[in-house]
C-alpha cells in the first residue's frame, strides 16, 4: 500500500515542480514582451544618439503597482492623470514619478548625476528629489562605451544656513561600480562583454556589505534600425528585465519585481536643462562633497 502512495506522491511533486517551471518561464516571457513594448515606445519618442553634451537631461517615467492599474502600456496610452484615477478606483497600490539623469561637462570630463524621486503621491507627507549618484567620465573614452573613473554614492547630508550639503563616498573598484550602475540609469559600459559571454556574475563588498548581481543576456532585437539587447538582472531580493541601447549603453526601459509590487520604468524624454530649471537650481544650491578629499564635486 505504501509503494503506490509513494509513487503518487513523487508524481504529484514532479507535476508541481513542472508547473512552477512553466509558470516562471511564461511569466518571464510576458515580462520580456512588455519591456520590448516599453522599449519600442522609448526609441520612437526619443533620439538616443550623442547624449554626452553639456546640460543634457534624460527623463525616465516610472510607475509601480500590485494590481488594478492596467499595466505600463495603459500608462502610456492614458497619460498619468487618467492612469492614476484608474489605480485609485481599482484600489491598487501604486507609485508614480520621474527619475532624471543630468550630464554636465568641462574640458576633460563629463559629470553624470542621477536624480531619484524619494517619496510618492498618497504614500507620504511630501515629495522630494535627491542626487543619489554622481559618475565622472574621462572624455578620452568618448568614442566608445564610457566607463566611469569614479562613481560617488550619497552617504549623509545636512543643511547649513538653508543650503544642502551632501557627502558622497567614492567607489573606484570595477566590480563595485558594476553592481551600483546596473541598478541605476548610468550608461552600462559592459554590454559588449555581456553579449559575448552571455552571463556575468559580479560579487563584491560595498561599504562593508556583501553585494552580488547576475547579468544574463536574453536576446538582441532591432527597433528603428537600432540594436537593442534584452538583459535580466538578478539580485538577492529582486530581479528585473531591461532593454539597453547597444551603441550607447543607455537603459531604455525595465520591469522590476521587488517582493509583491511590480515597477515599470522607461525613457520618456531627452532635452536640455532649460526644460527642467529646478534641476539646475538643485545643482546650484546643493554642495556635493567627496568624503575622502573634502573637496566639492563639480565640473
Region for 210 from its dihedrals, namely left if φ exceeds 0, alpha if ψ lies in -120 to 50, beta otherwise: beta
Query: Would you state the cell numbers that stand for residue 96, as one nine-digit string?
Result: 508614480
pLDDT of the residue at 237: 77
What confidence score (pLDDT) does residue 3 get? Answer: 59
pLDDT for 120: 41
| Per-residue model confidence (pLDDT) at position 28 | 47
Contact 216, 198 (CB under 8 A): yes
pLDDT value at position 125?
41
Half-sphere exposure in the Cβ direction for 211 (13 Å, CA): 17
Position 21 scores a pLDDT of: 41
E strand residue ranges, the chain: 56-65, 94-105, 109-117, 129-138, 150-160, 163-171, 199-206, 209-223, 226-234, 238-245, 251-258, 262-272, 287-290
Give dist(CA 231, CA 198) in Å, integer: 9
pLDDT digits (tens), the chain, 299 positions: 555 655 655 545 454 444 344 334 444 447 888 888 888 888 887 777 777 889 999 988 877 654 556 655 666 667 656 766 666 566 554 556 788 899 999 999 999 999 886 544 434 344 456 788 999 999 876 556 788 999 999 887 766 565 678 889 999 999 999 999 998 889 999 999 999 999 999 999 988 888 899 999 999 999 988 999 999 999 887 888 999 999 889 999 988 876 556 778 888 889 998 888 888 888 888 889 999 999 999 88
Interatomic CA distance for residues 19 and 259, integer angstroms:
21
Residue 61's region, left for phi above 0, alpha for psi from -120 to 50, else beta, is: beta
Q: Write down the pLDDT at residue 122.
A: 39
Amino acid at each position: 500500500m505504501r509503494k503506490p502512495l509513494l509513487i503518487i506522491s513523487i508524481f504529484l511533486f514532479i507535476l508541481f515542480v513542472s508547473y512552477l517551471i512553466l509558470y516562471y518561464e511564461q511569466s518571464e516571457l510576458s515580462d520580456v514582451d512588455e519591456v520590448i513594448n516599453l522599449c519600442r515606445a522609448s526609441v520612437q519618442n526619443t533620439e538616443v544618439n550623442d547624449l554626452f553634451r553639456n546640460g543634457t537631461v534624460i527623463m525616465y517615467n516610472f510607475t509601480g503597482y500590485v494590481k488594478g492599474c492596467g499595466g505600463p502600456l495603459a500608462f502610456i496610452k492614458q497619460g498619468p492623470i487618467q492612469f492614476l484615477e484608474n489605480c485609485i478606483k481599482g484600489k491598487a497600490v501604486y507609485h508614480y514619478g520621474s527619475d532624471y539623469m543630468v550630464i554636465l561637462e568641462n574640458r576633460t570630463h563629463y559629470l553624470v548625476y542621477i536624480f531619484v524621486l524619494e517619496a510618492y503621491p498618497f504614500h507620504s507627507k511630501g515629495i522630494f528629489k535627491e542626487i543619489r549618484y554622481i559618475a565622472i567620465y574621462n572624455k578620452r573614452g568618448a568614442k566608445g562605451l564610457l566607463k566611469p573613473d569614479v562613481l560617488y554614492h550619497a552617504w549623509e547630508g545636512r543643511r547649513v544656513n538653508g543650503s544642502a550639503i551632501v557627502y558622497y563616498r567614492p567607489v573606484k573598484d570595477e566590480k563595485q561600480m558594476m553592481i551600483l550602475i546596473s541598478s541605476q540609469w548610468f550608461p552600462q559600459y559592459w554590454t559588449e562583454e555581456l553579449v559575448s559571454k552571455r552571463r556575468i556574475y559580479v560579487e563584491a563588498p560595498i561599504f562593508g556589505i556583501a553585494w552580488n548581481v547576475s547579468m544574463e543576456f536574453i536576446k538582441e532585437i532591432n527597433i528603428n534600425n537600432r540594436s537593442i539587447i534584452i538583459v535580466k538582472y538578478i539580485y538577492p531580493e529582486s530581479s528585473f528585465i531591461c532593454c539597453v541601447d547597444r551603441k550607447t549603453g543607455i537603459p531604455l526601459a525595465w520591469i522590476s519585481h521587488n517582493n509583491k509590487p511590480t515597477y515599470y520604468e522607461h525613457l520618456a524624454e531627452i532635452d536640455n536643462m532649460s526644460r527642467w530649471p529646478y534641476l539646475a537650481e538643485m545643482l546650484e544650491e546643493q554642495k556635493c562633497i567627496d568624503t575622502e578629499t573634502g573637496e566639492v564635486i563639480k565640473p
